[in-house]
Chain A
Amino acid sequence: MKVDREVVETVADLSKLKLEEPDIAEYIESMSRILDLVEEMQEVDTSNVSPMAHPLDTTQRMRADIVTEQNLRDEYQAMAPETAGGFYLVPRVVE
């Protein structure tokens, strides 16, 4: 499948990635090549085949509703780029 500039820009936006102008042509090329490879799947008839999520088809376990996690906020925030008063700081979102 040949992707175009618009598709590449849309998925970059969805992925929160910034594309530099000189790289865009390269991304169009390589994404098209990967999708061509992937396209081979369409040869296979998969009607009535159920999608497989876990190899052993296990499901989520239930557990007792008790607190098992400790509060390690300070430890985890020690490695954050910027925090204040137990919050993570980011540039102003709401004016």
Chain B
Amino acid sequence: MHDKSLTQVVHDLRQGRYTSVELTRHYLERIRQHNTDLNAFITVTPELALEQAQAADQARRDGDDRPLLGVPLAHKDIFCTKGIRTTAASKMLDNFVSPYDATVIEKLLAVGSVILGKTNMDEFAMGSSNENSFYGKVRNPWQRDRVPGGSSGGSAAAVAAGLCVAATATDTGGSIRQPAAMCGVTGIKPTYGRISRWGMIAYASSLDQAGPIAKTVEDAALLLKIMSGFDDRDSTSLEMEVPDYLATLNNPVKGIRIGICKEYFADGLDTGVAQVVMDAIHELERQGAKITEVSMPHTRYSVPAYYVIAPAECSTNLSRYDGVRFGYRCEDPKDIEDLYTRSRSEALGKEVRERIMVGAFALSAGYYDSYYKKAQQIRRLIKNDFMSAFKQVDIIAGPVSPTPAFKLGEKTDDQIAMYLQDTYTIAANLAGVPAMSVPAGLIDGLPVGLQLIGNYLDEARMLNVAHRLQQATDWHLQVPTIAREGP
């Protein structure tokens, strides 16, 4: 059953080919067998899942036909889930049980889905390899000595290994697209503001955006449609109608103008990855897409600007973890200062502490203009690059990350090399445009992703192009051995 796409599962449940309880039991059994090895889940919720599955089966017998009725999903442990521990993979929130559901969770529960558990991630979403988790690293299902990518490594690994039908994730600088690419699954970071951030633990609020990770573009499009929409509890939420992404998936790509950003093919890109990405672009050309080169000259400044904006926002956002209202509190604080500093220092990981400090520096008196303001100006220039590119083309195509999945521990001592992993993904967050990763091939048994970037709110066209690519290729159907193993 775990080889089936979300779309097939929805169909099968409607046809009564199996029940939600059978399907949920199957996934719980797979998680029990394989999670020790992969460490993709921080928390598994078998009792709740079976209770929800039973309710879904009963509802179906009573004539209910909600879109995801009885479909078992996994959620990145950054989304608040009522009554379920929500940790953001931090010791700080190890004991935190959320009193409410995030909007994304509410929406997915409202259409009848089942919660299998919460997936592993880099602590507070800070990382590109899922090695910064308080709960330990996640292993790549394709090769166990490799990283799954990050920060949504648990969600990507769980989908790739067949431990859930699909999963939720978040992307601040590439955290959906990069792990999706490295695990050979499909991931979407929509336009900033498309999906509500309410109840999603904040890292860098002006960049954070939720999205789905799934086996196919069709599955991801269905989830995106459900997750999107205006929410007055998120002040940056866009008050705009959500199109029916599925309705336009099959449109021909003939005449669609696809831009190859030449700066994405510069030094540092693995030649094998470049080849795989170009092959995918040529397939789209074969279908009638028009390929042209575009230039986005400020691309190389996106990583530097990001490492001012994201730390600055995180230093502000994470000031709430003070040992007073929730989360970790140190033993026997001697005074209030000791309570704050010891609680934070004992419970926040090294990468998180460092980003908070860099952010505090960038925002401090005398440095604000040359760091934070400068970064926000560069952000505008990066947006302008996209705007002029989108005058010439409809979609920009390129690599997701410079290499396939690297080895566990390979970059943990070289922070800058780790940061440069996100060279091709960060610009879309800074500009706020939608972007996604689709499987495009394998190099030495490791998946490579193709990145597609669209104009603001043009997710439909991006999904259309990605879907047509999947209609003509079978890269998304390739799965790691673990996904073929029983039960």
Interface residues of A in 19-59 (CB under 8 A from B): 19, 27, 30-31, 33-35, 37-44, 46, 49-56, 58
- Cross-interface CB contact of A41 among B192, B375, B419, cutoff 8 Å: B375
Residue of B nearest to A72 (CB): B99
Across the interface, do A30 and B374 meet the contact criterion of CB distance under 8 Å? no
Question: Cβ of B191: which chain A residues have Cβ within 8 Å of it?
Answer: 55-56
Task: Give bound CA distance, A60 to B304, whole Å.
Answer: 28
Proximity string of chain A (54-95) to chain B, C-beta cutoff 8 Å, 1 when within and 0 when not: 111010110100000000100111111110000010111100
Task: Give bound CA distance, A7 to B340, whole Å.
Answer: 20
Question: Cβ of B416: which chain A residues have Cβ within 8 Å of it?
Answer: 33-34, 37
Question: Cβ of B376: which chain A residues have Cβ within 8 Å of it?
Answer: 51-53
Interface residues of B in 408-438 (CB under 8 A from A): 415-416, 419, 431-433
Task: Give bound CA distance, A22 to B170, whole Å.
Answer: 35
Min Cβ gap B306→A in Å is 9
With contacts A17-B357, A51-B373 taken as known, whether A38 is within 8 angstroms of B326 at the C-beta atoms is no
Across the interface, do A37 and B303 meet the contact criterion of CB distance under 8 Å? yes
Interface residues of B in 307-344 (CB under 8 A from A): 307-308, 315, 319, 322-326, 329, 333-342, 344
Question: Cβ of A90: which chain B residues have Cβ within 8 Å of it?
Answer: 324, 333, 336, 339
Min Cβ gap A88→B in Å is 5
Across the interface, do A56 and B432 meet the contact criterion of CB distance under 8 Å? yes
With contacts A37-B303, A50-B377, A55-B193 taken as known, whether A76 is within 8 angstroms of B99 at the C-beta atoms is yes
Across the interface, do A55 and B324 meet the contact criterion of CB distance under 8 Å? no
Proximity string of chain B (349-361) to chain A, C-beta cutoff 8 Å, 1 when within and 0 when not: 0000110111011
Cβ of A5 within 8 Å of any chain B Cβ, yes or no, is no
Residue of A nearest to B358 (CB): A34
Across the interface, do A17 and B356 meet the contact criterion of CB distance under 8 Å? yes
Cβ of B298 within 8 Å of any chain A Cβ, yes or no, is yes
Across the interface, do A16 and B344 meet the contact criterion of CB distance under 8 Å? yes
Cβ of B235 within 8 Å of any chain A Cβ, yes or no, is yes
Interface residues of B in 377-398 (CB under 8 A from A): 377-381, 383
- Sorting the interface of chain A by its residue count into under 10, 10 to 19, 20 to 34 or 35 or more gives 35 or more
Across the interface, do B380 and A51 meet the contact criterion of CB distance under 8 Å? yes
Min Cβ gap B196→A in Å is 14
With contacts A14-B360, A40-B300, A50-B380 taken as known, whether A56 is within 8 angstroms of B333 at the C-beta atoms is no
Provide the main secondary structure of the chain A interface: loop
Task: Give bound CA distance, A3 to B129, whole Å.
Answer: 27
Task: Give bound CA distance, A73 to B419, whole Å.
Answer: 41
Question: Cβ of A56: which chain B residues have Cβ within 8 Å of it?
Answer: 191-193, 238, 432, 456
Residue of A nearest to B298 (CB): A44
Cβ of B345 within 8 Å of any chain A Cβ, yes or no, is yes
Min Cβ gap A3→B in Å is 8
Task: Give bound CA distance, A77 to B336, whole Å.
Answer: 19
Residue of A nearest to B348 (CB): A17
Task: Give bound CA distance, A8 to B361, whole Å.
Answer: 9
Question: Cβ of A43: which chain B residues have Cβ within 8 Å of it?
Answer: 301
- Cross-interface CB contact of A39 among B232, B304, B322, B326, cutoff 8 Å: B304
Q: Which of B333, B336, B345 has the most CB of A within 10 A?
A: B345
Min Cβ gap A25→B in Å is 14
Task: Give bound CA distance, A41 to B360, whole Å.
Answer: 18
Task: Give bound CA distance, A65 to B361, whole Å.
Answer: 38
Question: Cβ of A14: which chain B residues have Cβ within 8 Å of it?
Answer: 360, 364
With contacts A44-B381, A58-B236 taken as known, whether A79 is within 8 angstroms of B99 at the C-beta atoms is yes
With contacts A34-B415, A40-B300, A55-B193 taken as known, whether A17 is within 8 angstroms of B325 at the C-beta atoms is no
Across the interface, do A35 and B323 meet the contact criterion of CB distance under 8 Å? no
Across the interface, do B342 and A18 meet the contact criterion of CB distance under 8 Å? yes
With contacts A55-B193, A56-B456 taken as known, whether A12 is within 8 angstroms of B381 at the C-beta atoms is no
- Report the 7 A-B pairs with minimum CB-CB distance, sorted nearest first: A55-B432, A51-B376, A46-B377, A81-B329, A52-B380, A49-B377, A18-B345
What are 21 of the A-B contact pairs (CB < 8 Å)?
A3-B361, A16-B319, A16-B322, A16-B340, A18-B344, A34-B358, A34-B415, A35-B358, A35-B361, A37-B304, A41-B304, A42-B374, A46-B381, A51-B373, A52-B380, A54-B192, A56-B432, A61-B239, A63-B232, A77-B325, A91-B335
Sample of 14 further A-B pairs with CB below 8 A, known A17-B344, A34-B416: A11-B357, A11-B358, A11-B361, A16-B340, A17-B348, A17-B356, A31-B357, A34-B354, A40-B300, A58-B236, A61-B232, A79-B96, A79-B99, A80-B326
